[in-house]
Amino acid sequence: MLRSVTRSFSSLRKKSIRVLSTSTDANSDESKPWLNPWKHALPKSSSTTTTFEEAKIDWSFVERLMPHEVVPPLPKHDSYPTPSGWQPPQGNMLRSVTRSFSSLRKKSIRVLSTSTDANSDESKPWLNPWKHALPKSSSTTTTFEEAKIDWSFVERLMPHEVVPPLPKHDSYPTPSGWQPPQDPPPKLPYYVRRKRDHTLPLYLNRRRDLLNEETLDFDYVELVTMKGVEGDVFACEAELRQFLEAELGMPIATHVDELKGRIVINGADRSVVEKFLYTKGF
Where exactly are the structural domains of the chain? 190-280
CB distance 238 to 190 below 8 Å: no
Task: Respond yes or no on whether the N-terminal peptide bond of residue 89 is cis (omega within 30° of 0).
Answer: no
The confidence score (pLDDT) of residue 62 equals 77
The confidence score (pLDDT) of residue 61 equals 79
The confidence score (pLDDT) of residue 14 equals 66
**β 202-212/217-226 pair status:** antiparallel
C-alpha to C-alpha distance for 36 and 54, rounded to whole angstroms: 45
Write out residues in the chain with pLDDT < 50, as ranges: 19-20, 23-24, 26-27, 118
The confidence score (pLDDT) of residue 276 equals 94
Taking the model in full, what pTM does it have?
A: 0.43
Fold of 190-280: Translation Initiation Factor Eif1 (3.30.780)
C-alpha to C-alpha distance for 193 and 183, rounded to whole angstroms: 13
Identify the DSSP state of 26. Answer: T
CA 10 to chain centre: 95
